[in-house]
Structure 1
Amino acid sequence: MIIQPTSLAALTWAGAASGASAESWRVGSVLAARTVGLNEQNRFIIQIGALTVETEAPGTQLPPQFQVRVLSLGPEPKLEVLGSNPAEQVIAQALRQRLPQQNGYAPLLATLGVLAQRPLLRQLPPGIRNALALLEHSIRTPVEISSDGGLREAVKRSGLFLESQLARPTTDLGVLGEDDWKAALLRLADVLEPSVRGAPQNDTETPPPLFQRGLVAQPRAPMPEPAQPGDVESLLTRLHGDVHAALARLEVAQLEAHNVGAWMIEIPLQGEGGQDILQIQLTPPQDNADQPSCWTLGFALDLPALGPVQGELQLRGLRLAVRLWAQRVGTVERLERRFNELSHLLTSNGLILDQLTCQAGLPQQPSVRSSVLLQATA
């Protein structure tokens, strides 16, 4: 959040920023804070130590009283919110650990494609071959997700809900272990440990599928080349890093869903000549007695034949609005040619279609700031 001082606190803030209150505003200092209320511009008023500042409404609700730690000083001091709930602090710490480790699924899928080639596959130990086969089995096909039941099952087995399903006494652990994406990743990571020396490295900066980033259509990654022809060891080292980076990415999405109240889900798909990634953002209806319930489903996909495509579906009762975006003009035309068929399919299922459009170009993602960090400006 960007915090700006109110006019009443300008002199006090100037004194703190210039060093008059340096003793209490040292980097690392922990200050008491409390929420005061809203001003006429609908901004939050927060008192931090001796300062009263205002801020835009945060993405998550702040408690009446909390603490902040000074992370940096200068013209825009940065403050970290310390949760009063110990569980919130554990989640924040887990996020900090996993964010530098994470990477998208595309590099992992590219490495899997190389190792699936028969000359290299024959050189792999049996345990790794079995774990790779299990992971490949958990990758869905376009046919499997083309029905509502198939898509629901793909979301359920995307790894995001593995732990919650394990906690249910009626869960078939054998089926879950074979179909769930995260379970298959964990199994592969386990069998790779004895074969690969050293901690996994991740030098790329691909951001995770967080709500601060929004939906992004992800293209296929180029297949890596072995260090030498037939060199399996270098590919296994790469696979080791890719698996741990994918697990960290998935766990970041799980931790973020705790606070946001929505889900960001990635589903690997078996495509022609490789694998693709379907990204879904599912926002359930908010509790509002004055408005009809509204489900929002966003998706992003980058197929070699179509290029990047994004979409958003909003369902209020039986009324549906569908908006699509495609980067390529030719893809827009191909999608629009299917509009009559899609419209008939939706209305025949009892829905009232309010909007069905497709635009050239991709939508700009809104800037959403995390509530983990407070950034204050004078």
Structure 2
Amino acid sequence: MIIQPTSVAALTWLGAAAGASAEGWRIGSVLSARPLGLTDQGLLVMQIGALTVEAEAPGTQLPSQFQVRVLSLGPQPLLEIIGAQVTTDTSVNQAMRERLPQQNGYAPLLATVTALAQWPVLRQLPAYVRNALALLEHSMSNPEELATGDGLRQAIERSGLFLESQLAQPGGDDASIGQDDWKGALLRLLTALDGQPSLRDGNDINVAPPLQSRGMTPQGRLALPPELAESSEAASFLPRLRSDVQAALARLEVAQLEASKVPAWMIEIPVQGQQGADVLQVRLEQHNKDGEQDQHWTLGFALDLPSLGPVQGELVLRGLHLSVRLWAQQRESTARLEQQFDDLRSRLAASGLSLDQLSCQTGLPQAGASRSAVFLKATA
């Protein structure tokens, strides 16, 4: 459920979301909650702790009193309902509860890896750590690979989301699969860093919400903190590197757990670009409605390139009919993308597809989100 504050509680909620007020709002804390009624718009009014909020009505009926556990803080705290009747498998729920406070986006890890690859400090690292870092970079895709359909398919297969299912296939080359897979590379690097201290204390850290809760959102590159950017000691990087690897691995495992509950694949693909790495988000969903004529596929993507800025797209394929909608945050990027439309039309015509719509708008669409009766995503 997406929780939004009522006007009365807005100021109090802003303080709670930032961790500055509303005592008890800390990761792992349990708060009392109770439903108060429905608004004219059909939103559920609830009291959580000392705050009154509105939320989308859940798929299950909530009892007169229940509890929620704070899973993450920041601008969009995530809460888990406990003490209510839900149908989610308890083992999956427990795994989600353990990983959600740990997970974060790939951008911090990619910033650290990029710095290590470019600076002389890399030579100070043990050989087994350097080898694990090299395999991690090898598991990333490059723009040339993603420019083809077969390359994109392989990048999705190597994204880490399907590692366990691929290893379970009989007759597969486990060594080859694990070497090219992003999750396999993360696990090897984490093993190599075993024993290094961690920077995360699990309390007031602000982390990005998981994919299904947030929807498509372009992720830009991050810069290292000045104290690390100016450091020449490898020991300064290893705690951050281990923390970033743990956060990226937890994020990937949350995406795997979420994939069992929703009808769409949400995939993040690290892409090795010029002077750094970027994150390509892909959402793939098959729609099965009444009759075969209503069946279609939707492919969404989001990325933030230094040369273009944040860009999103949605492709809808119905049989041989394709609709393409693009969004760019910067007006200059919109013009650059529109300059490629004639070439795109020619390529699609040569492939036998009929282009029903092709457009590019300035400004990004509002991020969508999934609804859950188990987890509450709070927004201010």
Q: Equivalents in 2 of 1:200, 1:135: separation in Å?
A: 22
Partner of 1:355: 357
Q: Equivalents in 2 of 1:2, 1:143: separation in Å?
A: 38
Contact 1:110 1:224 in 2 (8 A): no
Q: CA 1:2 to 1:182, structure 2 compared with 1: closer, same or farther past 3 Å?
A: closer
Q: Equivalents in 1 of 2:42, 2:163: separation in Å?
A: 40
Partner of 1:197: 197
Partner of 1:248: 250
Q: Equivalents in 2 of 1:304, 1:56: separation in Å?
A: 36
Contact 1:82 1:89 in 2 (8 A): no
Q: Equivalents in 2 of 1:353, 1:163: separation in Å?
A: 37
Q: CA deviation at 1:278?
A: 0.5
Q: CA 1:190 to 1:374, structure 2 compared with 1: closer, same or farther past 3 Å?
A: closer
Give the secondary-structure state (helix, strand or coil) at the position aligned to 1:144: helix
Contact 2:179 2:185 in 1 (8 A): yes
Contact 1:208 1:253 in 2 (8 A): no
2:164 counterpart of 1:163: yes
Q: Equivalents in 2 of 1:319, 1:133: separation in Å?
A: 42
Contact 1:200 1:240 in 2 (8 A): no
AA in 2 matched with 1:215: M
Contact 1:103 1:204 in 2 (8 A): no
Q: Equivalents in 1 of 2:152, 2:248: separation in Å?
A: 21
2:135 counterpart of 1:114: no
2:173 counterpart of 1:177: no
Q: CA deviation at 1:248?
A: 0.7
Q: Equivalents in 2 of 1:2, 1:129: separation in Å?
A: 43
Q: CA deviation at 1:67?
A: 8.2
AA in 2 matched with 1:114: A
Contact 2:183 2:249 in 1 (8 A): yes
Give the secondary-structure state (helix, strand or coil) at the position aligned to 1:101: coil
Partner of 1:91: 92
Q: CA deviation at 1:363?
A: 0.4
Give the secondary-structure state (helix, strand or coil) at the position aligned to 2:270: strand
Give the secondary-structure state (helix, strand or coil) at the position aligned to 2:314: strand
- What is the 5 A alignment of 1:195-234? 196-197=196-197, 200-201=200-201, 204-225=205-226, 229-234=231-236
AA in 2 matched with 1:107: P
Larger Rg: 1
Contact 1:326 1:361 in 2 (8 A): yes
Contact 1:68 1:79 in 2 (8 A): no
Q: CA deviation at 1:170?
A: 2.4
What are the Cα deviations for residues 301-355 of structure 1, in whole angstroms up to 9, with x where unaligned? 1001100000000111111110000011010001111111101111211111110
Q: Equivalents in 1 of 2:107, 2:90: separation in Å?
A: 31
Q: CA 1:304 to 1:296, structure 2 compared with 1: closer, same or farther past 3 Å?
A: same
Q: CA 1:287 to 1:89, structure 2 compared with 1: closer, same or farther past 3 Å?
A: farther
Contact 1:329 1:360 in 2 (8 A): yes
2:344 aligned to 339, 342, 345, which one?
Answer: 342
1:326 aligned to 325, 328, 334, which one?
Answer: 328
Partner of 1:14: none
Q: Equivalents in 1 of 2:95, 2:64: separation in Å?
A: 18
AA in 1 matched with 2:139: S
Contact 1:209 1:249 in 2 (8 A): yes
Q: CA 1:360 to 1:28, structure 2 compared with 1: closer, same or farther past 3 Å?
A: closer
Q: CA deviation at 1:230?
A: 1.8
AA in 1 matched with 2:362: A
AA in 1 matched with 2:239: T
Partner of 1:239: 241
Q: CA deviation at 1:110?
A: 0.6
Number of matched residues? 320
Partner of 1:266: 268
2:70 counterpart of 1:70: no
Contact 1:83 1:89 in 2 (8 A): no
Q: CA deviation at 1:231?
A: 1.4
Q: CA 1:2 to 1:238, structure 2 compared with 1: closer, same or farther past 3 Å?
A: closer
Contact 1:66 1:83 in 2 (8 A): no
Q: CA deviation at 1:225?
A: 4.4
Pick which of 349-358 and 110-119 moved more. 110-119
Q: Equivalents in 1 of 2:186, 2:372: separation in Å?
A: 28
AA in 2 matched with 1:188: L
Q: CA deviation at 1:285?
A: 2.6
Contact 1:208 1:252 in 2 (8 A): no
Give the secondary-structure state (helix, strand or coil) at the position aligned to 1:211: helix
Q: CA 1:126 to 1:28, structure 2 compared with 1: closer, same or farther past 3 Å?
A: same
AA in 2 matched with 1:197: P
- What is the 5 A alignment of 1:52-71? 70-71=66-67
Q: CA deviation at 1:213?
A: 0.8
Give the secondary-structure state (helix, strand or coil) at the position aligned to 2:189: helix
Q: CA 1:204 to 1:278, structure 2 compared with 1: closer, same or farther past 3 Å?
A: farther
2:150 counterpart of 1:154: no
AA in 1 matched with 2:261: N
Q: TM-score, normalised by structure 2?
A: 0.76
